[in-house]
């Protein structure tokens, strides 16, 4: 008896789910949750230490114990960032490492992102970026004033550093009392091949470091091969590592021709275009017995795609 449609439907649904590829690591958000609007209050970047300053988003626990601002959760690439500010001004995205010695927050700039000009509407503004990030690093912003801060009570907020933090300098203590929550958030994506491009929106081929668009699955083409008495000449479609093996033609008892590999091989670091490689002495025509030969050529490009081709030649 044939199964009913009611039985088939769930079974097909389960089969379809099982056939789907496993989901990879998805994009993550860290930093401020941007739930609050910029609030006027003391501006230590102007009042205490004339700007510009670097404001570092540290951890600001709320009443429930949840961090309002969080550091990077994993390795990846920041592909865009968001902020809320009440001023139209130029600001620069940074990443900083923070260590605590007693009550002092020592900060050090580790990488620098884009400089953008804000509109200052108080609403969430978003900007593109491409900035490598590692676990535990904190978002920071170079700004002329603290217009992107929500002032509220709490434990630890946003330390300020003036003059701004600079890559290559050692850790520094803050220049003024901390201000409120830094309204800065980043979206980060994984970077499987470590090329500094986010896998989901910036890198069309996350498995190949040298490839940004679609994955390269085509091997290098080797053409216009000529074998002279002392050298081999060939043309490559792209840079590749090339290995050459010399084979001698032998006639079998049935009259068929088979090629027997001679001992040894030689290689060349080929570049796109015409290449000339000197033959090792043992493979030069003056040292090979008269007869028919074949040059077996294997080329491998930068991402591991191989190709194989042969070229027959005669020695007399």
Block mean pLDDT (10 aa), the chain, length 316: 40 35 67 87 72 85 67 95 95 95 91 97 96 96 92 71 93 87 95 92 88 88 96 97 97 92 96 97 93 97 94 95
d(CA 174, CA 162): 8
DSSP bridge pairs for 269: 241
pLDDT value for 243: 98
Strands across the sheet containing 158-161: 104-117, 90-101, 138-143, 53-56, 158-161, 176-179
Give the dihedral of Cα atoms 89, 181, 159, 96; nearest 10 deg: -80
The H-or-E segment that residue 46 falls in is: helix 44-47
> DSSP label at 289?
P
CA distances from 16 to 2, 6, 25, 178, 275 (A): 21, 16, 21, 54, 51
Task: With beta carbons less than 8 A apart as the criterion, state whether 310 and 294 touch.
Answer: yes
d(CA 68, CA 88): 25
What CATH code is assigned to 222-315? 2.60.40.1220
Task: With beta carbons less than 8 A apart as the criterion, state whether 239 and 302 touch.
Answer: yes
pLDDT value for 39: 81
Task: With beta carbons less than 8 A apart as the criterion, state whether 177 and 48 touch.
Answer: yes
Which ranges of 141-291 does DSSP label H, i.e. alpha helix?
none
d(CA 62, CA 45): 24
Task: With beta carbons less than 8 A apart as the criterion, state whether 134 and 72 touch.
Answer: yes
d(CA 139, CA 124): 16
Q: Which burial class, exposed, middle or buried, applies to 178 when counting CB atoms under 10 A from its CB (0-12, 13-18, 19+)?
A: buried
């Amino acid at each position: 008896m044939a199964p009913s449609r009611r039985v088939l439907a769930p079974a097909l649904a389960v089969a379809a789910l099982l056939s789907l590829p496993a989901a990879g690591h998805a994009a993550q958000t860290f930093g401020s949750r941007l739930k609050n609007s910029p609030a006027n209050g003391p501006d230590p970047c102007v009042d205490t230490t004339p700007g510009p300053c670097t404001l570092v988003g540290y951890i600001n626990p709320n009443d429930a114990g949840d961090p309002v601002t969080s550091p990077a959760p994993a390795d990846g690439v920041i592909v865009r960032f968001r902020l809320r500010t009440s001023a139209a001004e130029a600001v620069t995205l940074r990443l900083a490492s923070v260590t605590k010695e007693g009550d002092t927050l020592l900060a050090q700039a580790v990488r620098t992102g884009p400089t953008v000009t804000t509109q200052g509407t108080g609403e969430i503004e978003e900007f593109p970026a491409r900035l490598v990030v590692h676990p535990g690093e904190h978002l920071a912003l170079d700004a002329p004033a603290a217009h992107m801060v929500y002032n509220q009570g709490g434990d630890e907020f946003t330390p300020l550093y003036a003059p701004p933090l600079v890559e290559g300098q050692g850790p520094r203590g803050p220049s003024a009392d901390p201000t409120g929550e830094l309204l800065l958030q980043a979206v980060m994506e994984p970077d499987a091949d470590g090329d500094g491009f986010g896998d989901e929106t910036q890198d069309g081929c996350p498995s190949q470091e040298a490839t940004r668009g679609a994955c390269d699955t085509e091997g290098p083409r080797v053409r216009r091969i000529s074998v002279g008495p002392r050298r081999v000449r060939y043309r490559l479609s792209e840079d590749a590592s090339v290995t050459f093996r010399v084979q001698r033609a032998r006639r079998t008892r049935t009259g068929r021709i088979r090629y027997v590999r001679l001992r040894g091989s030689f290689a060349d670091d080929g570049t796109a275009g015409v290449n000339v490689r000197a033959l090792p002495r043992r493979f030069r025509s003056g040292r090979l017995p008269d007869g028919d030969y074949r040059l077996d050529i294997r080329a491998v490009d930068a991402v591991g795609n191989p190709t194989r081709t042969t070229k027959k030649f005669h020695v007399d």
